[in-house]
Amino acid sequence: MRTLIPTLLTGLALLASASACSAPPGDIRQSGFVYCVNGAVTTFNPQLASGGLVVDTLAAQMYDRLLDVDPYTYRLIPELAESWETRDNGATYRFHLRHNVPFQQTAWFRPTRAMNADDVVFSFQRIFDRHSPWHNVNGGSYPYFDSLQFADAVKSVKKLNPYTVEIQLKSPDASFLWHMATHYAPVLSAEYAEQLTRADHQEQMDRQPVGTGPFMLSDYRTGQYIRLARNPDYWKGLPRMAQVVIDMGAGGTGRLSKLLTGECDVLAYPAASQISVLRDDPRLRLTLRPGMNIAYLAFNTRKAPLDRPDVRQALALAINNERLMQSIYYGTAETAASILPRASWAYNNDSRVTEYNPGKARELLKAQGVDNLHLTLWVPSTSQAWNPSPLKTAELIQADLAQVGVTVTIVPVEGRFQEARLMEMNHDLTLAGWATDSNDPDSFFRPLLSCAAIGSQTNYAHWCDAALDDVLHKALLSQHLSSRIDYYDQAQSMLATSLPVLPLAYSLRLQAYRADIHGLVLSPFGNASFAGVHRDKAGEK
């Protein structure tokens, strides 16, 4: 993944320099809205991302997937596939595609045909087929699907006719449809890929995006903003706003100030400490929903003495989680007892939050012969969907561990550079989190804690347990919910004993916006399409 970063950043910088404007126009509110969020962009293709702004916000605007997840019922619903069939006890999946779905017409691509089976085959062969000429373009790393080992699990991706695609797996996988519904699985244009191949500019696929979504990329300024223009040919109907500006130029209180002054129309992930201000202002509205996310502390299980379960248990006992709830989340989160969110259908109700017992922690460390321990704690420097104040969280953990004789040095890191450095395995601890737009428990277990996820750079604990992998694999083989629940109960019990990660919090999803903004949908699985967003008395032209 480290070799991917400079390539994409260089390409994105070229796109930014070609942008016609140096700042969003002053009259944006006549035809659109400003969405303020912390984040950075290293690619515009969610296939290559492991989370963040491109997956959580941009993907739903620029791309569509075969399937979607209803944000209210948590059920799979049709998107580009109008229907689907499950065959061979979950080893074969057949998708029947919509007709007359156009791709976006951009400054860099003019489609000559509508979306069809060729596009779906291209999109997934790129991920699953290591022999595809596109697999290694821009690094050949697909973090989400690599963590699930889909390149080894998929037998074939076939076009049966112009509007039917069949994906065969080597063995049944009851979670497969849910993974196809994530924002990591966009449908790309095979015709655009052919054009880039002829020009020998394949790398542009991931920095000059083309999808079928309601908005398309217009301008980009590194670290400042992304402007999206309405797709006039969107298959679900014309989006109500002509443009959206994603403002990345301010953090923390700066974004709140922009919301209060009207420079921002929507504030994604406001700090929990700001809720009272937001609630008391009649010009603003606040939405809170349970989220499919987990904030956790990962132990580097490849480094002594953190390779010992008793040492990890001791450190967990030293952390005052209740204080984290009060000082970081202000009532907008629940103390986590499992790597699975409580909203998951496989959540084990017998799971227990690790107790706070510094006396017992000191005894365990002494029994393990651990004295004068010095640890480094790697921490994201910006707010996250699962943790509004990572640095403050780190400081509280640092103070707690000091009480049991453990010295912690906090190392702030950012985005992809955090991931790259964590994979060097020099860290001891890292504050991390995970959010998914899938309701299947497999989308938490395997990306975070499977052996394969070490190589895909999503397993920050570097935890590899063949017995756990075996249980997770067995959970995929059955189409019976009760059997899968039994396996996931077993997995949660195993993790509670071995404790490669310490679950900290399940965070509510928060979103604040100006009172004249309507049509925003806040989903437990990530931000939904902005196609229906509109403003009172706005010029929707």
| CATH number of the domain bearing residue 102 | 3.90.76.10
pLDDT band at 1; cut points 50, 70, 90: very low
Q: Answer yes or no: is 282 within a domain.
A: no
102 and 15 housed in the same domain? yes
pLDDT of residue 447: 92
pLDDT of residue 10: 47
Cα gap 82→113, rounded to integer Å: 19
61 and 171 housed in the same domain? yes
Whether 82 has a pLDDT exceeding 90, the answer reads yes
75 and 193 housed in the same domain? yes
234 and 304 housed in the same domain? no
Cα gap 45→93, rounded to integer Å: 24
Whether 331 has a pLDDT exceeding 80, the answer reads yes
Q: Kindly write down the DSSP assignment for every residue of 193-258, as one continuous string.
A: HHHHHHHT-GGGGGTS---SSSEEEEEEETTTEEEEEE-TT-TT---SSSEEEEE-S--THHHHHH
pLDDT band at 398; cut points 50, 70, 90: very high
Cα gap 283→265, rounded to integer Å: 11
pLDDT digits (tens, 9 = 90+) for 94-132: 999 999 999 999 999 999 999 999 999 999 999 999 999
pLDDT of residue 506: 93
State mean pLDDT over 458-479. Answer: 94
231 and 308 housed in the same domain? no
Cα gap 141→3, rounded to integer Å: 10
pLDDT digits (tens, 9 = 90+) for 496-541: 999 999 999 998 888 899 999 999 988 777 668 999 999 986 444 4
Task: Choose between 466 and 287: higher pLDDT.
Answer: 466
219 and 302 housed in the same domain? no
Burial pattern 84-113, b for ≥16 Cβ within 10 A else e, equals beeeeebbbbbbbbbeebebbebebbebee
155 and 18 housed in the same domain? yes
95 and 216 housed in the same domain? yes
Q: Answer yes or no: is 532 within a domain.
A: no
| Number of neighbours of residue 336 by Cβ within 10 angstroms | 24
CA distances from 64 to 81, 89, 430, 541 (A): 10, 27, 33, 24
| Cβ(494)–Cβ(339) below 8 Å | no
pLDDT of residue 486: 96
Which residues are paired to 523 by β-bridges? 526
pLDDT of residue 2: 32
| Cβ(212)–Cβ(103) below 8 Å | yes
- The CATH number of the domain holding residue 433 is 3.10.105.10
Task: Choose between 21 and 199: higher pLDDT.
Answer: 199
Domain final residue pick, 222, 239, 256: 239
Helix (H) or strand (E) holding 516: none
Read off φ and ψ for residue 421, nearest 5 degrees: -75, -35
428: closest CA among 379, 390, 369, 366? Answer: 379
Helix (H) or strand (E) holding 509: strand 501-514
343 and 220 housed in the same domain? no
Could you give the percent of the chain with pLDDT greater than 70? 91
CA distances from 343 to 156, 212, 524 (A): 34, 31, 9
Determine which of 146-155, 193-202, 366-375, 421-430 has the lowest per-residue pLDDT on average. Answer: 421-430
85: closest CA among 66, 63, 60? Answer: 66
Q: Answer yes or no: is 34 within a domain.
A: no
pLDDT band at 427; cut points 50, 70, 90: confident
Q: Answer yes or no: is 513 within a domain.
A: no
Whether 245 has a pLDDT exceeding 70, the answer reads yes
Q: Answer yes or no: is 95 within a domain.
A: yes
Task: Choose between 313 and 423: higher pLDDT.
Answer: 313
The total of structural domains in the chain comes to 2
**DSSP category for residue 84:** E
pLDDT of residue 327: 92
| Cβ(430)–Cβ(324) below 8 Å | no
State mean pLDDT over 314-333. Answer: 93
- Expressed as residue numbers, the domain containing 425 is 293-508
pLDDT of residue 250: 67
88 and 230 housed in the same domain? yes
State mean pLDDT over 245-271. Answer: 85
| Cβ(66)–Cβ(95) below 8 Å | yes
Q: What residues contact 79, with CB distance under 8 A and at least 6 apart?
A: 64, 65, 66, 67, 68, 181
**Most confident by average pLDDT, 285-289, 290-294, 412-416, 482-486:** 482-486
Cα gap 465→147, rounded to integer Å: 14
pLDDT digits (tens, 9 = 90+) for 25-39: 456 777 999 999 888
Q: Answer yes or no: is 273 within a domain.
A: no
Q: Answer yes or no: is 251 within a domain.
A: no
pLDDT digits (tens, 9 = 90+) for 144-171: 898 888 899 999 999 999 999 999 999 9
308 and 398 housed in the same domain? yes
**Taking all residues of the chain, what is their mean pLDDT, rounded to a whole number?**
89
217: closest CA among 109, 138, 67? Answer: 109
Instruction: Please give the structure tokens belonging to residue 459.
Output: 């397993």
51 and 148 housed in the same domain? yes
Whether 286 has a pLDDT exceeding 60, the answer reads yes
Can you say whether the dihedral through the CA atoms of 361, 381, 46, 452 is positive or negative?
negative
Q: Answer yes or no: is 308 within a domain.
A: yes
Task: Choose between 57 and 71: higher pLDDT.
Answer: 57
